Amino acid sequence: MSHISYSELKDWSFCAHYHKLTRVDGIDGFKGNEYTAFGSAIHSVCEKKLLQEDIADSFFVEELKKNISELEDDVDNKLVSQMMKQGASIIPEIDDALNEYFEEYEVLAVEMPLYEPIQGEENYKFKGYIDAVVATPDGKVHIFDWKTCSWGWDAKRRSDKMVTYQLTLYKKYFCQKMDVDPKDVETHFALLKRTAKKNHVEFFRVTSGPRKTENALKLLSTALYNIKNKRYIKNRLSCTSGFGCKFFKTEHCP
């Protein structure tokens, strides 16, 4: 049984040819860096805090060092040193931010796996992991995803459809898996800000209603159609937009 994840869908949306190079041909695209090492370490802290597990004061630093040691490229030691201090500023605010945002809540799951059939696609399932699922006394279930960043997200990023489709699809397949009414499920991002002067942890709600879900599923269906039919059209707009593509003007994409 084949599957597709949100990250794979995002790669395809970025550029179908990039998707082919990384997901089909197996050519390494992005291998990770100091920022992903930091994100993984702080996520581990968040998970343990949600589960109310005792963690040593050195836990985050040890996790970060372990993740850094696994990187293949040269490491910016000055940046890593800064990240250790930044993590120390974020961690004390996690519990307070959760309590302030949800007030009273029950943790239902952390790192909840999804592997759900995609309607209309006999041989494909949607695969993912939901960072956290909590319930509140009003009967609502809340799905949220931790996101590390520098100072925060501007309005454009907060409303970017490819960013928010992650939660939309997680909600869709969570409801399918758990047989829950989508009206009773809300979605949120939780920003963990490395360089912010204050409010290092910020939650905000993302709407994931029927129309948005329909649009996300249409994109998923279009991606699968093209992937199955080996249509790997280059998206030239992605070659140099933002951080650009690492394959731009290389032997893989001249």
Does 33 have pLDDT greater than 90? yes
Average pLDDT over residues 207-218: 97
When pLDDT is cut at 50, 70 and 90, the band that residue 244 belongs to is: confident
State the pLDDT confidence band at 218, using cuts at 50, 70 and 90. very high
Query: For residue 140, which of 99, 108, 164 has the smallest C-alpha distance?
Result: 108
Cβ-count burial of 41 within 10 angstroms (0-12 exposed, 13-18 middle, 19+ buried)? Answer: buried
H helix runs in 16-76, sequence order: 16-19, 34-50, 59-69
Contact 216, 168 (CB under 8 A): yes
Average pLDDT over residues 224-233: 96
C-alpha distance from residue 148 to each of 62, 64, 89, 203, 249 (Å)? 18, 14, 13, 12, 30
For residue 124, the one-letter residue type is Y
Q: What does the pLDDT look like over 73-88, one tens digit per residue?
A: 899 999 999 999 999 9
Whether 169 contacts 129, CB under 8 Å: no
Say if CB 38 and CB 65 are below 8 A apart. no
Residue 152, C-beta contacts closer than 8 angstroms, at least 6 positions apart: 191, 193, 196, 202
Q: Using CB atoms within 10 A of its CB, is residue 42 exposed (0-12), middle (13-18) or buried (19+)?
A: buried
pTM over 0.85: yes
How high is the pLDDT of residue 29?
60
Question: CA-CA distance, 243 to 201, in Å (whole number)?
Answer: 25
Dump pLDDT digits (tens) for 42-53: 999 999 999 999
The strand ranges marked E within the chain are 2-5, 106-118, 121-135, 141-149, 185-193, 201-206
Torsions phi, psi of 109, nearest 5? -165, 150
CA 70 to chain centre: 21
